[in-house]
Amino acid sequence: MNQDSLIDAKPANDANSTLAVHGGEARQKLADSVTDPIVCASTFTFENTQSVIDYIEQQQPREEYGRYGNPGEKIVEKKLAALEGGEEAILFASGMAAIVGLFMSKLNAGDEVVFFDECYHRSREFCSKHLARFGVVTRQVPACDYDAMESAITPNTRLLVSESPTNPHLSIIDLERFAAIGKRHNVETLIDATLATPYNVRPLTYGVDYVLHSVTKYLAGHNDLLAGAIIGSQDQLESIRNLRGIMGAVNSAHNIYLLQRGLKTFALRMERHNQNGQAVAEFLESHPRVEKVYYPGLASHRDHTIAHNTMRGFGGLITFLVKQADWKETAKIVDAVTVPRIAPSLGGVESLIEQPLVMSYYECTPQERRQFGIPDNMIRLSCGVENAADLIQDLTQAFNA
């Protein structure tokens, strides 16, 4: 009896807890163990010469060498694909390795990429500094300006890219509209859905070609590993997988086991991140020291309607501005909290807090920061799965400190 048949047979329109626990896994595993073994092998043996020849000539599905794949990796890739509702997933050593892997395999000199400007600063840096070195042209347009995106498309455009929600402004992309622009111009589309996760929205169902995740964040969920993934159709992913085997940005067997273990509580954690995010955002919005809160679950958010119509919840990440505060007064609040720790990253069970000016944009000029929409009084808070009352109490005392 095969577990896959039961799980896959379900109309998987929902990244639910059953999929998180069992998706991608065989019911009967090696040594009848309930959990999958960690296969540490760097290489895999062949019985004899004929079996090598059979493998190469008939492309029999089996392992060959660790850089091309690992049994534990295949299971987690299947689980991620199941959660995202895609045909296939490819794991990478980190989210950035996934982004680089996709760009490098899909783009050639002379090709063009159009992307919405609100995004993880390293993704932007890779586009502007490194893709440019290989003769790829990248065009930034303001987030959610679909007309600007469409106007930026030329006959050389190969890829439209956005995050949703965006980091750190939490703008929500109209995925249907975004995907439609791509289809109209025969250009592929990529959504970095790290902040959304398949629990809250599944971009492939809107016609997006590729979904990308910094798996480091919510999917792994415990602030204790780095991983990245791309999910899409088997055909479209093939060249990415082949290039990964050459570039070598694969994840490790131990890491992948921790990821698989973390995914078991994925739906449960997301439900709580969503609840905590909403509760803390509402608290912040009502606080006299807060000027503005960016959280898609608030009616005051510019994209609330589209978020409300397309997402199950809005995650644990909240960005807010402190009223009439310079960067030092803002830093005082960051320094006064006791439950969230000061650190980059997000999406783990532990709450994290940071001031984007200091953490990610310190080396930018004030003008660049203005351009990226990073004011001095901005704080980004990643709500973990702690008790919401503890988080709110902690923020209250930090505002009074």
Partner 1 sequence: MKFRTRAIHVGNEKDPETGAVVPPVHFSSTFVQPGAGEWGEFDYSRSGNPTRQNLEQTLASLEGGTGALAFASGMAATHCVTMLLKAGDHLLAGTDIYGGTYRLLQHVVGPSGVDVSLANSTQLDTLEQAFKPNTRLLWIETPGNPLMSITDITACAELAHRHGAWLAVDNTFATPALTRPLAAGADLVMHSATKYLGGHSDLLAGALVAGSEELHGQLYYLQNACGAVLSPLESFLLSRGLKTLELRVHEQCKTAQQLAEWLSGDARVKRVLYPGLPNHPGHALAKNQMQGGFGAMLTFEIDGDLAKTKRVAEATQLFQLAVSLGAVESLIEQPATMSHASYDASDRAAHGITDSLIRLSVGLEDVADLRADLDQALNA
Residue (86 or 348) nearer to partner 1, CB: 348
Instruction: Give the binding range for ligand PLP (CB under 6 A) out of 192-200, 239-247, 296-304, 323-331.
Output: 192-200
Contact between residue 157 and residue 187 where contact means Cβ atoms under 8 Å apart: yes
Binding at 228: pick from ligand PLP, partner 1, none (beta carbon under 5-8 Å per type)? ligand PLP
Residue (167 or 377) nearer to ligand PLP, CB: 167
Gyration radius from the chain CA atoms: 22
Distance CA 79, CA 88 (A): 9
Q: Is 349 helix (H, G, I), strand (E, B) or coil?
A: coil
Binding at 214: pick from ligand PLP, partner 1, none (beta carbon under 5-8 Å per type)? ligand PLP
Instruction: Give the binding range for ligand PLP (CB under 6 A) out of 58-66, 90-98, 182-190, 350-358.
Output: 90-98
Residue (94 or 265) nearer to ligand PLP, CB: 94
Binding at 244: pick from ligand PLP, partner 1, none (beta carbon under 5-8 Å per type)? none
Sheet of strand 352-354: strand arrangement = 290-294, 317-322, 378-382, 352-354, 341-342
Q: Taken in order 377, 308, 163, 269, is the CA torsion positive or negative?
A: positive
Q: Interface with partner 1 by CB under 8 A: which residues?
A: 1, 3, 6, 10, 16-18, 20-22, 27, 34-35, 222-224, 258, 261, 264-265, 267-269, 272, 339, 341, 343, 348-350, 352, 384-387, 389-390
Binding at 348: pick from partner 1, ligand PLP, none (beta carbon under 5-8 Å per type)? partner 1
Q: Which two tokens stand for residue 392?
A: 């709110």
Distance CA 394, CA 322 (A): 16
Site for ligand PLP in 201-220 (CB under 6 A): 214, 216
Residue 382's nearest CA partner among 167, 173, 229 is 167
Binder to ligand PLP among 81, 83, 153, 226 (CB under 6 A)?
226
Does residue 95 touch ligand PLP according to CB under 6 A?
yes
Contact between residue 230 and residue 81 where contact means Cβ atoms under 8 Å apart: no
Does residue 163 touch ligand PLP according to CB under 6 A?
yes
Terminal Cα-to-Cα distance of the chain (whole angstroms): 60
Contact between residue 125 and residue 99 where contact means Cβ atoms under 8 Å apart: no
Contact between residue 125 and residue 79 where contact means Cβ atoms under 8 Å apart: no
**127: CB partners within 8 A, 6+ apart:** 103, 113, 115, 138
Binding at 216: pick from partner 1, ligand PLP, none (beta carbon under 5-8 Å per type)? ligand PLP
Contact between residue 197 and residue 76 where contact means Cβ atoms under 8 Å apart: no
Binder to ligand PLP among 103, 115, 116, 120 (CB under 6 A)?
120
Residue (96 or 281) nearer to ligand PLP, CB: 96
Residue (105 or 167) nearer to ligand PLP, CB: 167
Does residue 228 touch ligand PLP according to CB under 6 A?
yes
Binder to ligand PLP among 16, 17, 18, 94 (CB under 6 A)?
94
Does residue 394 touch ligand PLP according to CB under 6 A?
no
Q: Taken in order 192, 195, 199, 203, is the CA torsion positive or negative?
A: negative
